[in-house]
Amino acid sequence: MPVQGWADNLVLWLAQHWRPAFQTVRAPMIAAIDALTTVLTSAPPPLVLILLFLLAWQISGVRNAVVATALMFAVGMIGVWSDAMRTLSLVTVAVLLCFGIGFPLGILSARSDRLEGALKPLLDLMQTLPAFVYLVPIVLLFGIGDLSGVLVTAVFAVPPLIRLTSLGIRGVPPPMVEAAVSLGATPANVLFMVSLPIALPAILTGINQTIMMSLAMVTYASMIGVGGLGQLVLRGIGRLDMGLAMVGGAGIVALAIVLTDLVQPRGTAPRVKRVSRSTPIGLVRALIARVSRPATPTAIPMKRGS
């Protein structure tokens, strides 16, 4: 079977007939990547560290904020601050793109068994197909540069978010959904006030895995002209320079720890907010607690002398 010829003809047909459409998508995404890169690289490092400390403090506590700030300070001390900021901008755009695609698809696949069955082999293919195979068609359609690296990263990193979003929503206890519907909640209320809050840990795990896989793709994306820390690792491999590759790898590890701690803090218990009973989710929780409360046995009056 001439599979190679079919693949070549498909990519050439897309490049000839759909290249203008792909180019219209290219301009705004490149503008977003360049704007974010300019902001992060031109901002003074002390200001970035202060903002990072305040953000991590509010999300995950003082201890994790100190660790995140110390790691990014170390990144600046080893001389790869600008490369780390460029990598951070690329990963941020890739994760936002993955979230914009994977989150709706995860919700839809959780509500449709047919869609989930159709997506499963596609997601398996996206996760098992070598990343180098993605590079060829994307470079032919979008050219070399940061945009192609972001798209390759998004294709490789979006499957965990789709899977875990669907898994989290499907794991919502049916009695809670039934109680919300019986109390007059609309499907949108059930989704946003019952299903998504309960599925939030699984969704955050999916975002965490997407961030990790995006950072893992940085080195591969550097082969098509993407700068940043991956470029340092690639140059270190090409020159057999262990020090250069180690510096780039240490920067990637530091970014991974900081970003994953912001999504899922380590060593901190989740904060549970008190929900008013006037909201549907409050009514559902109160009803479930009342139904699931064990009944206290009533004492049988005893007659005197018995």
- 127-166 pLDDT tens trace: 888 877 877 788 877 777 788 888 888 888 999 999 999 9
Span 17-266+277-285 CATH architecture: Orthogonal Bundle (1.10)
Distances (CA, A) of 303 to 15, 298, 300, 306: 94, 16, 10, 6
pLDDT, mean of residues 243-269 = 82
User: pLDDT tens digits for 93-137?
Assistant: 999 999 999 999 999 999 888 998 899 999 988 888 887 787 778
Torsion sign over Cα 168, 170, 172, 178: positive
- Choose between 2 and 109: higher pLDDT: 109
To the nearest whole number, what is the mean pLDDT of the chain?
82
Average pLDDT over residues 271-279: 47
Percent residues over pLDDT 70 in the chain: 86
Residue 142's CB is within 10 A of a number of other CB atoms, namely 22
Q: Residue 282: its pLDDT value, please?
A: 53
Of the pLDDT bands very low, low, confident and very high (cuts 50, 70, 90), residue 303 is low
Model pLDDT, residue 130: 80
* Residue 185, Ramachandran bin (φ over 0: left; ψ between -120 and 50: alpha; else beta): beta
The mean pLDDT of 172-192, rounded to a whole number, is 86
Question: So where are the chain's domains?
Answer: 17-266+277-285
> d(Cα 224, Cα 188) in Å, to the nearest integer?
43
54-99 per-position pLDDT tens digit: 998 988 888 889 999 999 999 999 989 999 999 999 999 999 999 9
pLDDT of residue 181: 86
pLDDT at residue 286 tops 50: yes
